[in-house]
Amino acid sequence: MAGTRRAGHAWAAPGPVGLPLLGWLAASARDWPVHWIGLVSLPALFPANAGWAERLGDVHQALALGLLGLIGLHVAAALYHAVILRDGSLRRMW
């Protein structure tokens, strides 16, 4: 269980930071404009290249789905501890 916990938490910081950067790279490779919060236009990080664009988009999508899966597992584990084990782990978080 400790290995699972460590693996899940290992993505807690780089996932939310790296995923948008990878999306920015993928959008740049497709020559799509990127705007931060709809206010600031961001420069292209990668030259427009159709071959790389599809690969970057696929990697971005796979990592996004993986991160969503980890979030779902995190919620399921919290509910398991709260409802089935009743070990007080949620109370310790507050």
Domain ranges of the chain: 2-69
CB atoms near residue 56 (< 10 Å): 21
pLDDT for position 64 = 92
Residue 25: closest CA among 3, 7, 46: 46
What string of pLDDT tens digits covers the 94 residues of the chain?
666 667 666 767 777 888 999 999 999 989 899 998 888 999 988 788 777 888 888 999 999 998 899 889 889 988 999 999 988 887 877 7
Per the confidence metrics, is the pTM higher than 0.85?
A: no
Which pLDDT does position 7 carry in this prediction? Answer: 67
- Measured in whole angstroms, the distance separating CA 12 from the mean position of its chain's CA atoms is 8
How many Cα atoms within 13 Å fall on the side-chain side of residue 44? 13
At 38 the pLDDT is: 84
For the record, the structure tokens of 58 come out as 């696929």
pLDDT of residue 49: 78
